Chains A and B, each alone.
Chain A
């Protein structure tokens, strides 16, 4: 089964600073990859998804961007963070069975 690694687990950044969150996947090849954001322990909002290297689709206009430089690597970035970028960021890919997704353990971002 696949495993998703995310780092860092926790991040505190000042407003206006850049951001780079990394997600890597093991146990599968050429997966669809997704970035979700979750605010205050509630539902997940899809930010970006990628069906292959260099292919990024954005679901919500925002201060963030994503890139997929390698098959199993998905990066979430920002040039200048806003307070509203705070949240819990999750990377995911489809599982092998039951149509479900496998999620990473997430990055808690606090912008101060």
Chain B
């Protein structure tokens, strides 16, 4: 089973700061998904990256897929308290029937 490592595990920043969180694997990703989960809710899909070197933007969020498709990053510009949550990366399993998730980065943005 391919393991996804996310870093950092916890991140606490002031409103307006920039931040980057990472998702890495020892093996090549077929594709990678990023989710945000708020307390007491299910994860919500933010983006899927498929092509090596791909960059996708979602308002203040920029997602990058490494050229070798073994790593991905999520950069948030000018963080807002509404960005607070658990950020999870996930990839399809070998049989494509299920997703495997990383342990997540818990982000707190302090007003």
Contact = CB atoms under 8 A, between A and B. Distances in A.
A44 B88 contact: yes
Interface in B38-74: 39-45, 47-48, 50
Contacts of A42: 86, 103-104
Contact of B99 (A4, A51, A101): A101
Interface residues of A, number: 26
Contacts of B97: 32, 49, 51, 57
B45 A105 contact: no
A51 B97 CA distance: 8
- What is the interface residue range for chain B against chain A? 20 to 34
A41 B39 contact: yes
Contact of A43 (B40, B42, B44, B88): B88
A62 to B, nearest CB: 16
Interface string A37-65: 00001111010010100000101000000
Nearest to A48: B98
Contacts of A101: 33, 43, 45, 90, 99
Residue of A32, A99, A104 with most partner-chain B CB within 10 A = A99
Interface of A: 4, 32, 34, 36, 41-44, 46, 49, 51, 57, 59, 90, 92, 95, 98-106, 108
Given A42-B103, A59-B98, 15 more contacts: A41-B104, A43-B88, A46-B98, A49-B97, A95-B45, A98-B47, A99-B33, A99-B48, A101-B99, A102-B45, A103-B44, A105-B40, A105-B41, A105-B42, A106-B42
11 contacts: A32-B97, A42-B104, A43-B88, A46-B100, A59-B98, A90-B42, A98-B47, A98-B48, A99-B31, A100-B45, A105-B41
